[in-house]
Chains A and B, each alone.
Chain A
Amino acid sequence: MNTKGMVTILAVTYGFIGILPIFLGDSSILMRILTMILIWSIVASCWDLIMGYAGIFSFGQVAFYVIGAYSSAILSVSLNVPPIVSIFMAGAITAIIGVIIGLPCLKLAGPYIALVTFAFQLALEPFLKGPLGKAIGSGGSRGIISVPPIHLFGMDLSSSELIPFFYFALVLTLICSAVIVVILKSHWGTAFLALKDSEDFAASLGVSAFKYKLLVFGITSFITGLFGALYVHYVGILSTRMLSMEVFTVLLIMIVVGGIGQYPGVVIGAVFTVTANELLRPMGIYRLLIMGGLVVVVVLLLPDGVTGLIRKFSVFKLRKKKKPSVEIRG
Chain B
Amino acid sequence: MLSIENLNAYYGQAHVLKDVSITVNKGEVVVMLGPNGHGKSTLLKSICGMVDSKRGKITYKDQDIIKFPSDKIVNLGITYIAENRELFPYMSTLENLKLGAYSKNARKHEKENLEKVFSLFPRLAERRKQFASTMSGGEAKMLAIARGLMSNADFLAIDEPALGLQPNLRTEVARIIKEINKQGKTILVVEQNIPQITDLADKLYVLEEGHITFEGNKDDALSNDNLKEIFLGM
Contact = CB atoms under 8 A, between A and B. Distances in A.
Interface in A260-301: none
Contacts, number: 30
A330 B13 contact: no
Contact of B42 (A320, A323, A325, A330): A330
B37 A325 contact: no
How many interface residues does chain B have, given as a range?
Answer: 10 to 19
Contacts of B209: 327
A328 interface: yes
Contact of A328 (B17, B37, B40, B43): B37
A323 B13 contact: yes
Interface in A296-330: 320, 323, 325-330
Nearest to A328: B14
A317 to B, nearest CB: 12
A329 B37 CA distance: 4
A327 B13 contact: no
A328 B36 CA distance: 10
Nearest to A321: B13
B15 A330 contact: no
Contacts of B39: 330
Contacts of B43: 330
B41 interface: yes
Contacts of A320: 13
A36 B51 CA distance: 47
A31 to B, nearest CB: 46
Nearest to A325: B15
B13 A325 contact: yes
A323 B40 CA distance: 23
Contacts of B13: 320, 323, 325-326
Nearest to B17: A330
Contacts of A323: 13
Contacts of B14: 325-328
B44 to A, nearest CB: 9
Contacts of B37: 327-330
B38 interface: yes
Contacts of A325: 13-15
Nearest to B37: A329
A328 B9 CA distance: 12
B16 interface: yes
B189 to A, nearest CB: 16
A323 B10 CA distance: 14
Nearest to B44: A330
Interface in B1-25: 11-17
Given A327-B38, A328-B12, A330-B11, 9 more contacts: A325-B15, A326-B13, A326-B14, A328-B11, A328-B37, A330-B16, A330-B39, A330-B40, A330-B43
Interface of B: 11-17, 36-43, 209-210
- In order of increasing CB-CB distance, the 3 nearest A-B pairs are A330-B42, A325-B15, A329-B37
24 contacts: A320-B13, A323-B13, A325-B14, A325-B15, A326-B13, A327-B14, A327-B16, A327-B37, A327-B38, A328-B11, A328-B12, A328-B14, A328-B16, A328-B37, A329-B36, A329-B37, A330-B17, A330-B37, A330-B38, A330-B39, A330-B40, A330-B41, A330-B42, A330-B43
